[in-house]
Amino acid sequence: MSFEAFLGELRADANERRVPLPPGTVDCDVRITSISGKASPKDLPEHPPEAYRETQDELGLSRVVLIQPDELGFDNSTLLSSLGALAGAPDGLVEDCARAFCMVRPGVDAAELEDLAAEGVTGMRVGMLRHRESCPWDEIDRHVRRVHDLTGWDVELAMDGSDLHEIAQTIRAWPCNIILPELGGFRFSRSLMQPGFRALRHLIDRGRVWVKLAAPYAIAKEGQLDDPEVIELADALVDWAPERMVWGSAWPHLNWPREADSLPENLGLMESFGAWVSDGEVRDRIFCENPEVLYGFKAWLVAK
């Protein structure tokens, strides 16, 4: 077989695995760690906006939600630079194609919040995973309410979903939308019978909690993409409330388990999502329509 024929077979295999995407698909989980020409902060691997453009092209993505990496803490400078670099669609024909969720310390000055909002930031990430808390638990309610009062921002809350029932009453009273990444973040247990999952269903029914279908390896045993418990969890979430689900690539996979051999393929992750959501209309809703509602993107006007 010639090399050209071999490449042709690879392309054909990729096309067969590719999940059809609607025009305007939003990638709701991307973390940029560096800016081209500058050293990556805190010695993180270099993943600049230009590298993510390659992923957009590979998968056929149009819009993006940037999340401040936990590793960069409250230094949002890379996030802001990335927001400007990715503001337009990859083809350059559509503007306003990026959103950004920063991290800010409790008690942050109102002036700093005003500056971040003026730069285009539209939300706040609060990291509450063990040993990676960006806010003390006894301050989180005041922190979220104060920032929302000053900015109107929604909140991405990263925590172990198995503990969700312990804070559900507090979350229920927040005035903003709450996005739970990594399928709700169920690290301790992925059982559908646990109190944390039951609390999540009740919170979703209240109408302000959303779940991000991204980085399944972060909660799977040994990072397995085909972990049956994660598949069962994803199926249950999509079946329960498809109107409250969004999707993200989790590029560049900073939470990929260190003990795993290699990073997951972007097409492989997309293929996993396609297996969770077989209905094309539901898939389109999660890829495009739901994030338009949640993140405030305009409806994509390109004819389908």
DSSP string, 258-297: TTSSSPPPHHHHHHHHHHH---HHHHHIIIIIHHHHHH-P
Report the relative pairing of strands 209-213 and 245-247 from DSSP bridges: parallel
- Determine the pLDDT at residue 237: 95
Domains identified in the chain and CATH numbers: 21-295 (3.20.20.140)
pLDDT above 50 for 106: yes
pLDDT tens for 125-138 read 999 998 889 999 99
Taking the CA atoms of residue 198, residue 269, residue 266 and residue 220 in that order, the dihedral angle to the nearest 10 degrees is 60
Least confident of 7-11, 30-34, 135-139, 223-227: 7-11
What's the chain's average pLDDT? 89
Residues 6+ away with beta carbon under 8 Å from 169: none
Distance in angstroms (rounded) separating the CA atoms of residues 215 and 117: 28
Which pLDDT band, with edges at 50, 70 and 90, does 4 fall under? Answer: very low
Q: How far is CA 6 from the centre of its chain?
A: 35
Q: Largest Cα–Cα distance in the chain?
A: 65
- Determine the pLDDT at residue 259: 57
- Determine the pLDDT at residue 39: 81
In the chain, DSSP assigns E strands to 26-30, 63-67, 98-102, 123-127, 154-158, 178-180, 209-213, 245-247
pLDDT tens for 294-304 read 999 999 986 54
Least confident of 31-35, 69-73, 204-208, 269-273: 269-273
pLDDT tens for 235-284 read 999 999 999 999 999 999 988 766 556 667 788 888 888 888 889 999 99
- Determine the pLDDT at residue 261: 60
pLDDT tens for 178-193 read 999 999 999 888 888 9
